[in-house]
Structure 1
Amino acid sequence: MGLLELGIRDLRNLEEVDLRPAPGVNLITGANASGKSSLLEAVYFLGRGRSFRTHRFERLVRAGAATVQVVGRIAAGSEGSIPVGIERGRGGSRARLGGRDVRTLAELAAALPTQVITPHRHKLLEEGPRYRRQFLDWGVFHVEPAFLPEWQRYRRALRQRNAALRSGPREAAEAWEPELNQAAVALDRLRAQYVARLTAALPAYLDPLLGSLPVGLEYRRGWSAERAFEDVLAAHRAEDREQGFTGLGPHRAELTISLDGRPAADQVSRGQQKILVAALLLAQAGLFQELTGRCCVLLVDDVAAELDAEHRARLLRQVAALEAQAFVTAIEAPWAGELLPDSARMFHVEHGKVREMV
């Protein structure tokens, strides 16, 4: 799995780019602001329907252009390839997959799983629970087919209960609690199972990068572990009505990442944070591969940032060992011949133009 072809139109300074990436490692070099990170952004946009760098369309689209367009062909084994494309303008987005319109971005995500490692992913350790829930749910979504319908079911019931708490009769909020409870229990089970699997998989990716550090993952489901969720909902009705929203549940879940029982962000340097987060993301990619037989596309932006030569080499070896398609950016790469497999392809970006280096 991966992209056989990639076409980019009017994304930041990439006016017109067409390339055929390798099925394994693709190294993209270029000066700062040349457009190499934008190339990774394009792949992410194709697989997720959004950017990992901005939420503002005017920053994504090339100056003077009306729309951003990214197209590609996804390798599909014996089936050949699947065309995929997305276009976004000020009026919204339109995506197609396999010759038909895509109804939800989840369809794109399932067809082209992407995982990104950037210098800013330390937020996974330092920022609030939302980032770690997103990390957790990426993994569950891609390995548990039941996750998405249960999450949609939960969000729908949660919206209805919250609306009833704010303006409906007392009985209206209570009426949505059985549905909310059933979906919450299902989500909790899927998340807990996934964290157990990820915890078991992590040392194989962490140890080669940082050694045998006592890193722990602890999943907290968003309400008391000693109480059934239906009882929690009943006990908190008055408080929830006063607040106008449901205060406990899977939408308040947390995944704590610790080192020796203390928050990992407080125990390691910024460079070590990057390596730890990279290990977590690579473990996710490896677990996805193990459980589904497919590979996600890895996007590694600015591989040398905040890493010494030894840790950069370790990270690149781990990326290559997954045998997944990977796009790796660097300002320059005198180490490429030593660290990258012979099958790797190298591209150079200059002023928004991309050329393959042979």
Structure 2
Amino acid sequence: MTVSRLDIASVRNIQHATLHPAPTLNFIYGANASGKSALLEAIFLLGRARSFRSSSIKPVIRFSHDHLLVTGQTVFSGGAHQHLGVRLDAKSCEIRINQHTMPNRSSLAYALPLQLIYPKSYELLDSGPQERREFLDWGVFHHDPAFLPAWRNYKKALAQRNALLKNRQPEYLQVWNQELSDYGTIVTHCRRRYLEAFIPVFQDIAGYMLELPAIALSLSSGWDATESLLQALDADTEKDLRYGFTQSGPHRADLLVTLDRLPARDIVSRGQLKLLVISLKLAQVQLLNLHEEDTACILFDDFAAELDMANRAKVLRYLDVMHSQVFITATSPTDFGDLSNIHNYKMFHVEHGHINPVDCST
């Protein structure tokens, strides 16, 4: 699916803007603080009802305004249209899909799958396991419908078990151990099934992006793999009571990225690390494209950040053949490199929150 029309109101320095993007590549350039990242943020808001730049919505809302509004029209591969809308203020969130109010953000995530690549993305391999779990679970969420309900039930059971641990009530733990084990096992099976499908797609892309031996991906489940989750929870009872929280389970899982059995982040250069993260992100989109009728949309902020011109050209060539809608930002049109072999793209210039199409026909 692609975004065919986007209307933005009161998102940071964008007072009002209407765009008709290309269904393929969209290049957005402008000086720092011009509003180009705010444009990507608006698209992200339309697909997630939250910001990727701020944990609070208040700084995202234009100064002196009390709410923001982003609406859009998407087109499916078969030609059908879908209307999306998000209204956010400091206290509430309203989500509309085809004129119907939706109860939760997951409805938007299914309606407009978005993959974000921005400077903070490159911390994926340097940061703690939570970042990699969230990365993995984005793919599992779109790949396996059993994942989301199991994960929600697991988190509820985890909260109950942790409350018992904190209040030192071990007599009720066994009931929640079973609940946690049942849902946690489903979550882990979903993750493993997804990873099996993901690995060959990732290795193809990484082989193109990086001149390195095969990079291995594996899942650390979050408990000793030689025993069941229920056995691990029972064995951890004394330790969990001492610390006041559950130390084993899929909430402690990690995606391991290794090269010659060592963490890849300890071996590759900074430039290779960025290409590795880009390969991981694009592989998720490519796998989704292979299994779903409609494709995900890619948001690529600050395209030129620490990527030399040769690697930018390599990434751009791959984006061009992915058949996904892409929005890419940079400070100057020259940062995108040679576009002579890229067809049917659009370019936009952003200045002081005003977004204007650029004639690329000459």
TM-score past 0.5 threshold = yes
Q: Which residue of 2 aligns with 1:195?
A: 195
1:134 positional shift: 0.3
Which residue type is aligned with residue 239 of structure 2? E
Give the SS at the match of 2:246.
coil
Matched, 1:167 2:174: no
Matched, 1:356 2:342: no
Give the SS at the match of 2:239.
helix
Which residue type is aligned with residue 200 of structure 2? A
Which residue type is aligned with residue 11 of structure 1? V
Which residue type is aligned with residue 3 of structure 1? V
Give the SS at the match of 1:125.
coil
Distance 1:309 1:53 in 2: 26
Q: How does 1:1-358 map to 2 (within 5 A)?
A: 1-78=1-78, 80-167=80-167, 169-334=169-334, 338=339, 341-358=342-359
CA contact (8 A) 2:313 2:338 kept: no
Distance 1:158 1:190 in 2: 18
Give the SS at the match of 1:202.
helix
Give the SS at the match of 1:176.
helix
Which residue type is aligned with residue 288 of structure 2? F
Give the SS at the match of 2:52.
coil
Distance 1:12 1:90 in 2: 14
Give the SS at the match of 1:174.
helix
Number of aligned residue pairs:
358
1:79 positional shift: 6.0
Give the SS at the match of 1:150.
helix
Greater CA drift, 327-336 or 98-107:
327-336
Distance 1:333 1:79 in 2: 32
Which whole-Å deviations, capped at 9, do the CAs of 1:258-311 have from their partners, x for residues lacking one?
222222222222222211100100001001111223211001111111111110
Give the SS at the match of 2:339.
helix
Greater CA drift, 260-269 or 145-154:
260-269
Distance 2:78 2:199 in 1: 34
1:215 positional shift: 1.3
* CA RMSD across the alignment: 1.5
Which whole-Å deviations, capped at 9, do the CAs of 1:41-94 have from their partners, x for residues lacking one?
111111111111111223211111111111101213446211111111111211
Give the SS at the match of 1:54.
coil
Distance 2:164 2:340 in 1: 59
Distance 1:212 1:63 in 2: 48
1:122 positional shift: 1.4
1:336 positional shift: 5.5
Greater CA drift, 219-228 or 118-127:
118-127
Give the SS at the match of 1:120.
helix
Identity %: 38
Which whole-Å deviations, capped at 9, do the CAs of 1:169-220 have from their partners, x for residues lacking one?
4332211122211111111111111112211111221122112433111210
Which whole-Å deviations, capped at 9, do the CAs of 1:14-62 have from their partners, x for residues lacking one?
1101011111111101111111111111111111111111112232111
1:337 positional shift: 5.4
Give the SS at the match of 2:62.
coil
Unaligned segments of structure 1, at least 5 residues = none
Distance 1:339 1:66 in 2: 44
Distance 2:340 2:107 in 1: 35
Which residue type is aligned with residue 87 of structure 1? R
Distance 1:37 1:271 in 2: 22
Which residue type is aligned with residue 157 of structure 2? A
Distance 2:43 2:191 in 1: 27
Which residue type is aligned with residue 342 of structure 1? H
Which residue type is aligned with residue 4 of structure 1? S
Give the SS at the match of 1:348.
strand
Which whole-Å deviations, capped at 9, do the CAs of 1:81-128 have from their partners, x for residues lacking one?
111111111112111112111111111101101001112211101000
Distance 2:201 2:59 in 1: 38
Distance 1:239 1:336 in 2: 56
Pick closer, same or farther for the CA change 1:91–1:338 going to 2, 3 Å: closer
